Amino acid sequence: MDAADVRMTGAGELWRVAWRATCRAGRGIRWYMTTLMGDGAYATFVAHQRRHHPDAPVPTEREFWRQRMADQDRNPGARCC
């Protein structure tokens, strides 16, 4: 292996590290945005209902979102919009 091969190996490794860091940052941004928008809210609600209230009926996702929006309209609290 000559000096050019060593430089390429170092540059290749640098690109791999940079790519991994970029992918990790992208996953973090995706998680933040989906959490911020409430994409997992219904799944979290269903898991809670089944764990803590197993005999209660679980509303459909449409009913869940309607109720959530109605609750936010009744009690706006501190929110941006």
pLDDT at 75: 87
pLDDT at 35: 86
Q: What is the pLDDT of residue 9?
A: 65
* Closest listed residue to residue 67, CA positions, set 35, 41, 34: 41
Write down the pLDDT at residue 51. Answer: 96
Quote the pLDDT of residue 8.
57
Per-residue pLDDT, 79 = 65
Cβ atoms of residues 67 and 59 within 8 Å: yes
Ranges of residues in the chain whose predicted pLDDT is under 70 = 1-9, 79-81
